[in-house]
A and B are shown apart, each in its own frame.
Chain A
Amino acid sequence: MATALAATNHVALADLKGKVDPDWCPGCGDFGVLAAVQKALVDLQIPNHNVVTISGIGCSSNFPGFINTYGMHTLHGRALAVATGVKLANHDLTVLVTGGDGDGFGIGGNHFVHSMRRNVDVLYIVMDNQIYGLTTGQTSPTSRVGMKTKSMPFGNVEAPVNPISLALAAGATFVARGFSAEQKHLTELIKQGIRHKGFSFLDVFSPCVTYNHDNTYQWFRPRIKKLEDDGTYDPADWMAAMGKSLLWGDEIPIGKFFERTDVPALQDAEPVLNAGPLIHADPRIPAEVGRAFVEELM
């Protein structure tokens, strides 16, 4: 049976199981994100050898090791830059970028903003736990004001970033938020993000059960409200998306905030890629082109 399945290239969940099991803390929100990504790839029937999962550094950035696709576990904050290079060298690949809030909005903030305005065609999933986990509990760029951590023991006095508003302002063409405990909803958002041609940003509430005692599953559950449940919400309306992004308190929206399809993805905006992925190009420049380059100098 397995042979028959391989022959028809059917993608099964078992194909996506990584070489090692995740070593996240029991109850970590990241388990739910991993499961949803695997489910989405099965639903979309994308063979694992055509997927590259790229991360930076942090608890959630261990993700590529726990899924059987091509993986890159890069430097802290640099996953999006690496991913842009991968995608532009071979735009036939499905590129997933995974990481945490410190990695993406802190040390990687510069690349985050510029990757969005570039509209590079990747899905960026941030497992946002509003804390630094792997370094044992310091304030993150999304930690709330007043939150007490080892680095701010008297409470955070700095305002957090709003990743959704920031993504909208930076020109992301797909902006969504999920919750790791909402598996079906999250899987659907991941599938939409992969299908979207351009930069897809998916911020996922992924609670840290060890270091963040404020933003727990119990804290999120009564607050989250799916945008999809509001029949009047139009994700093509940027102003409405910006308005929704500012909601934080008793009601916290999750779901697809915004999507536009009229902006070409970076690979489609660059004529150099018209002939197909660069990895298939002849490394040699045609002799007459080389001669013309030299002729310019004479």
Chain B
Amino acid sequence: MKKTFAVGIGGAAGQGVATPGDIFAKIFSRRGLHLNAYNAYQSIIRGGHTFLTIRTGPEKVTNMGDRLDLLIPLNQDAMDRHLGLLTEGAACLYNADTIKPGIAAAGVELCPLPVSELADISRNKVAQNTLAVGAGLSMMGIGFQAVEEVLGEQFKKKGEAVVSENAGIARAGYDYATAHFNPFAWPLPMTGKRHAVLSGNIAMAMGGAAAGVKFYCAYPMSPSTGVLHWMAAHARKAGIMVRQVEDEIGVVNMAIGAAHAGVRSMCATSGGGFALMSEGLGLSAMMETPVVVIDCQRAGPSTGVPTKTEQGDLWQMLGAAFGDYPRVLAAPLDIGDCFKIIPEIFNIADRFQCPGIVLCDLLLSEGRLSVDPQDLDFAPVIDRGELITEASSSGANGDGAYKRYKITDSGVSPRAIPGLLGHTHTAASDEHDEDGVLISDEFTNPTKRRAMMEKRMRKVAGIEASVPPPELWGPRDAAVTLIGWGSTKGVIEEACEILIEQGISANQLQIRWLVPLHGEAILDILKGARHTIIVENNYSGQFARYLRSETSFVPDGYIRKYDGEPFMPHHIVEAVKEQLSGKSTLSVPAHEILV
């Protein structure tokens, strides 16, 4: 089993949960450790409860895990909710002046900090946080200079006095812990690696910049807003036009306008905003103007639970906009993949002149992961497809020789951008002929309509050929095959490792490309499977239903979760055991947080 260490920090919004989280994340990452962070929060700016889990270790950490090693409750509420989750070997650091501990399990060390003795709390309102950071690092076996360095960066803008004041408080916490508390059994190691730590939203924004996106627009909507924030902050350096638009209908249409004029154009939203974009996707398909739309799923329907995760938008993506048209739909597998998938989907959208949809979710969008900086490649392949950007010397202007929607074997027609001599044409949302002239105003023209429909739909075969089929990971002939899609990759992977350790061989089929699905290849993989279970973060088994509709495949069982929180490895492990013993074919694990 991989060695990991998890810190949980809980408190009210506005109490400063984020800063100690950032400090720990930076220190872990600079020791060359991997990390994964997940912040559970509610839709409130001040007050309420928020809980950040940072899990770290020398090997890849793909999810929040099952266990907390260090709990830092910043208020009584956080203590009451989370103390009961600690098990042997864990510790809880808390402000002894204001928080009463509950009853902890055997082997859990309670570590009260006499905050008012150690720091001047009239001067520094978040002294308890900084003391806890210092104390925690001492217990983890990390030298103090690492803290000093990060505090220096964290508070640089506030001036030298603030830096030294905070360093002093951290030092007091550090020394107090060294003198009074037991160090953790496993001092955190150091590796020679360097990692970048980023959220899925930042990764997708940077992936866009790397893909050559020159136009980005959005309407703020959780959990997609982080993409807008990165884009806005880096727009000038990256040469990207970023606009905040009045609504998502405007967003998708503005993005299509920019794409039509010839630049790569992207937008991001969540389910509700995507619903407004639906008609625009049809426009992109009909005008054959490529655009990439990111949907960061949150728990629905309607406004739903804006700060909670779900994989509940799949069928919205599959059914978005009326009529039949080619589309590409991909779900990134982890935060590193959020970066990588953007140039890939742009190349396909550009080559096949159709909409590309990235189906992300809150877990990846707002989670953070350590990524090898080499994986953030700013020189990916950029394939703009059959794009005409230079005027033909021969064709006189408007001589009618250029056919924007020329019927071809591939279904792809060379696309001229406005401004070129000799290529004037009208791109229309109405059905049109090869010239772009509307056929909707004709009495009827079944021949042209059929030809244009078939031309567009021929692109589907080309898209399928350009996307690799999924692969099975883990031992062949396993007792159980777990099938997932998108963001559940990491947690299913860890569940498989635990199962194998416990003597149950398990493997994993994780779907990244949802459209095209490669149904035949999936059937080939699954026909040899002994027991198949589809794991997904929604109520109705949206992927299971999709897979069945495309392939007639029916698995042996299902594991579903739709309570707003992501899967933890043990949820899957226990459900698999339950199902293998024949007790159930549908498991809905309960999320253990005291509320």
Q: Which of B255, B260, B426 contacts A64 (CB 8 A)?
A: B426
Knowing A283-B212, A284-B212 touch, does A70 contact B245 (C-beta < 8 A)? no
Per-position contact with A for B162-196: 1 when CB-CB < 8 Å, else 0? 00000000000000000000000000000000111
User: Roughly how many angstroms separate A27 CA and B382 CA in the complex, as a whole number?
Assistant: 51
A90 at the interface (CB under 8 A from B): yes
Interface string of B408-443 (1 = CB under 8 A from A): 000000000111111111111110000111100100
Q: How far is the CB of B92 from chain A (nearest CB, A)?
A: 30
Task: State A57–B440 Cα separation when bound (angstroms).
Answer: 12
What 0/1 pattern do residues 62 to 97 of A give for CB contact below 8 A with B? 101100111111110010011111111110110000
CA distance A272 to B211 in the complex (A): 18
Task: Give Cα A62–Cα B426 distance, bound, in whole angstroms.
Answer: 10
In Å, the complex CA distance between A283 and B251 comes to: 22
Interface of A is mostly: helix
Q: Is the CB of B238 within 8 A of A84?
A: no
From B197, B389, B398, B400, A297 is in contact (CB under 8 Å) with: B197
Contacting pair A110 B241 (CB below 8 A): no
Q: How far is the CA of A281 from the CA of B242 in the complex (A)?
A: 15
Chain B residue contacts of A83, Cβ below 8 A: 257
Knowing A271-B236, A285-B209, the reply to whether A89 touches B397 (Cβ < 8 A) is no
A115 to B586: give the CA distance in the assembly, Å. 51
Q: Is the CB of A73 within 8 A of B373?
A: no
Q: Is the CB of B250 within 8 A of A81?
A: yes
- Residue numbers in B under 8 Å from A1 (CB-CB): none
Known: A272-B241, A285-B238. A298 touches B263 (CB 8 A): no
Whether A49 lies near B239 (C-beta < 8 A) is no
Q: Mark B199-212, 1 if CB is under 8 A from A, else 0.
A: 00010001001111
Q: Which of B18-44 contact A (CB under 8 A)?
A: 29-30
The contact string, 1 if C-beta is below 8 Å from chain A, for chain B 232-246, is: 001111111111011
A280 to chain B minimum Cβ distance, whole angstroms, is 9
* Residue B308 is within 8 A (CB to CB) of chain A in the complex: no
Which residues on A sit within 8 Å (CB–CB) of B239? Answer: 272, 275, 278, 281, 285
Question: Do A48 and B424 touch across chains, with their CB atoms under 8 A apart?
Answer: yes
> Does B198 touch A at the CB level, under 8 Å?
yes
| Interface contact A86-B418, CB-CB below 8 Å | yes
The reply to whether B196 and A278 contact each other, CB–CB distance below 8 Å, is no
Q: Which residues of A contact B195 (CB under 8 A)?
A: 298
Q: Are A81 and B424 within 8 A (Cβ)?
A: no
Q: Which residues of chain B are near A65, meaning CB under 8 Å?
A: 426, 428, 437-438
User: Which chain B residues border A113 with CB–CB below 8 Å?
Assistant: 246
Contacts of A287 in B (CB 8 A): 378-379
Please tell me if the beta carbons of A89 and B261 are within 8 angstroms of each other in the complex. yes
A154 contacts B by Cβ under 8 Å:
no
Q: Count of B residues near A, CB < 8 Å?
A: 80
> Looking across the interface, which residue of chain A has its beta carbon closest to that of B371?
A297
Return B523 CB to nearest CB of chain A, in Å.
39
**Is A19 within 8 A of B257, CB to CB?**
no
Best-buried of A72, A90, A270 by chain B (most CB within 10 Å): A72
B254 to chain A, nearest CB (A): 4
B435 A19 Cβ-Cβ under 8 A: yes
Contact between chains at B419 and A85 (CB < 8 Å) = no
Query: Which residues on B sit within 8 Å (CB–CB) of A87?
Result: 257
Confirm or deny: B573 has a beta carbon within 8 angstroms of a beta carbon on chain A: no
* Interfacial chain B residues near A54, Cβ < 8 Å: 257
List A contacts of B426 (CB < 8 A).
19, 53, 64-65, 70-73
Docked-complex contact B261 and A85, CB < 8 angstroms: yes
Query: Does A52 reach chain B (CB closer than 8 Å)?
Result: yes
A279 to B210, CA, bound (A): 16
Chain A residues within an 8 Å CB radius of B224: none
A15 at the interface (CB under 8 A from B): yes
Is the CB of A222 closer than 8 A to any CB of chain B? no
- CB of A48 within 8 A of CB of B398, answer yes
Cβ contact of A289, chosen from B217, B237, B438, cutoff 8 A: B237
Q: Which residues of A contact B240 (CB under 8 A)?
A: 272
Interface residues contributed by chain A, number (CB under 8 Å): 61
With both beta carbons as reference points, the residue of chain A lying nearest to B441 in the complex is identified as A23
A273 at the interface (CB under 8 A from B): yes
Contact of B260 among A15, A72, A111, A271 (CB under 8 A): A72
Q: Are A85 and B254 in contact (CB under 8 A)?
A: yes
Given A49-B419, A49-B420, A285-B378; A15-B253 close (CB under 8 Å):
no
Whether A81 contacts B429 in the complex (CB less than 8 A), given A62-B441, A111-B250, A294-B373, comes out as: no
- Find out whether the CB atom of B280 lies under 8 angstroms from the CB atom of A70: no
Is A210 an interface residue when CB atoms closer than 8 A count as contact? no
Shortest A72–chain B CB gap in Å is 5
Least distance between B439 CB and chain A CB atoms (Å):
11
Of the candidates A20, A49, A73, A85, which one forms a contact with B257 in the assembled complex, judged by CB atoms under 8 Å apart?
A: A85
Contact A279-B264, Cβ < 8 Å, known A48-B398, A65-B437, A88-B243: no
Query: For the complex, what is the distance from the CA of A87 to the CA of B212, rounded to whole Å?
Result: 18
A88-B215 contact given A81-B250, A272-B239, A272-B240, CB 8 Å threshold: yes
Taking CB atoms, residues of chain B closer than 8 Å to A137 are none
In the assembled complex, A185 has its CB within 8 A of some CB on chain B:
no
On whether the beta carbons of A86 and B261 are closer than 8 Å, the reply is yes
Contact A278 B263 (CB under 8 A): yes
**Contact partners of A57 in chain B: CB under 8 A:** 429
B418, A70: Cβ atoms closer than 8 Å:
yes
**A272 proximity list for chain B (CB < 8 A):** 235-236, 239-242
B residues 518-572 in Cβ contact with A at 8 Å: none
Assembly CA distance A84 to B215 (angstroms): 11
Q: Are A297 and B196 closer than 8 Å at their CB atoms?
A: yes
Chain A residue with minimal CB distance to B423?
Answer: A49
For residue A47, which residues in chain B have a CB less than 8 angstroms away from its CB? 397, 421
- Inter-chain CA distance A262–B241, complex, in Å, is 23
Q: When chains A and B are docked, how far (Å) is the Cα of A62 from the Cα of B376?
A: 46
Q: Does B396 contact A (CB under 8 A)?
A: yes
By a CB distance below 8 angstroms, the chain B residues around A89 are 214-215, 241, 257-259, 261-263, 265
Residues of B within 8 A of A62 (CB): 438, 441
Q: Would you list which residues of chain A between 137 and 183 have a CB under 8 Å from chain B?
A: none
Instruction: Kindly list chain A residues whose C-beta atoms are within 8 Å of the C-beta of B247.
Output: 110
A11 — nearest CB in chain B belongs to which residue? B397
Interface centre among B254, B287, B418 (most CB of A within 10 A): B418
Which positions 8-67 of chain A face chain B at CB distance < 8 Å?
15, 19-20, 23, 47-50, 52-54, 57, 62, 64-65
Q: In the bound complex, what is the Cα–Cα distance between A54 and B209 (angstroms)?
A: 28
When the two chains form their complex, are residues B427 and A49 in contact, meaning their CB atoms are under 8 A apart?
no
Which A residues lie within 8 Å of B389 (CB)? 279
Complex CA distance for A222 and B435, rounded to whole angstroms:
43
Binding site for B on A (CB under 8 A): 6, 15, 19-20, 23, 47-50, 52-54, 57, 62, 64-65, 68-75, 78, 81-90, 92-93, 110-111, 113-114, 270-273, 275, 278-279, 281, 283-285, 287, 289-294, 297-298
The 6 A-B residue pairs with the shortest CB-CB distance, nearest first, are: A85-B257, A290-B378, A283-B212, A71-B426, A89-B261, A85-B258
Given A15-B398, A86-B260, A89-B262: 9 more A-B contacts, CB < 8 Å: A19-B426, A72-B427, A78-B283, A82-B253, A110-B250, A279-B389, A285-B239, A294-B196, A298-B196
Binding site for A on B (CB under 8 A): 29-30, 194-198, 202, 206, 209-212, 214-215, 217, 234-243, 245-247, 249-251, 253-265, 279-280, 283, 287, 373, 376, 378-379, 382, 384, 389, 391, 396-398, 400, 417-430, 435-438, 441
22 cross-chain CB contacts under 8 A? A19-B400, A47-B397, A49-B391, A62-B441, A64-B428, A69-B424, A70-B423, A70-B426, A71-B425, A71-B427, A75-B280, A81-B254, A85-B256, A85-B259, A85-B261, A86-B261, A88-B254, A272-B241, A283-B214, A283-B384, A284-B212, A285-B209
